Amino acid sequence: MKTVPRQTKAWAEGFPPVEPRRARVLILGTLPSAESIRQGQYYAHPRNAFWPIMGELFGAGREWPYGQRLRKLAARGVMLWDVLQAAQRPGSLDAAIHPRRLAPNAIPDLLVRHPELEAIVFNGGAAEALFRRHVAAACGAQLAGLTLARLPSTSPAHAARTFAQKLAAWRAALAPFRTPRRGTAGR
């Protein structure tokens, strides 16, 4: 029986990866927000800049139904997941994640399934820090040759940068993935 992600008062569980067959870039967040868990969708908070940025870069904005957005990203080889599978976290803020009560996702296994992956992009500093602290060592040689890039968090809690600044950073990092790889269009 498939388990449904949930968030209790202090414990949050994430989603499975959005995993296209020919992934080129993996976007890693920390753990879905309470609103995302409630809706069963990545980046569901209406003020999160993720989908507006994906709309600008890949035509996968909020104007499309969620499933269509995921298909548009998959067509460009964009994979979504989070560093954490579950954690003690009252509320939605990354800063509230208990440092000793968390379970990382099986990212090393994901990398084995996707040897064609070119880059891992972190949606914010917390995602990168958790990856380096709890996952990177287990990935070992699988990280060789991959570009690792920390981008500004799309979370509404990260107000240090404007939408335009966030978009510019994401645009620069994801530029190589905005067009289909030759020979893979329509797959």
Give the residue numbers annotated as catalytic, written as ranges. Answer: 48
CB neighbour list of residue 133: distance below 8 Å, 6 or more residues apart: none
Per residue, the 3-state secondary structure of the chain, as one string, reads CCCCCCECCCEEECCCCECCCCCCEEEEECCCCHHHHHHCCCCCCCCCCHHHHHHHHHCCCCCCCHHHHHHHHHHCCEEEEECEEEEECCCCCHHHCCCCCEEECCHHHHHHHCCCCCEEEEECHHHHHHHHHHCHHHHHHHHCCCEEEEECCCCCCCCCCCHHHHHHHHHHHHHHHCCCCCCCCCC
Is the CB of residue 144 less than 8 Å from the CB of residue 118? no
C-beta neighbour count of 142 within 10 angstroms: 18
Which residues are registered as beta bridge partners of 119?
25, 147
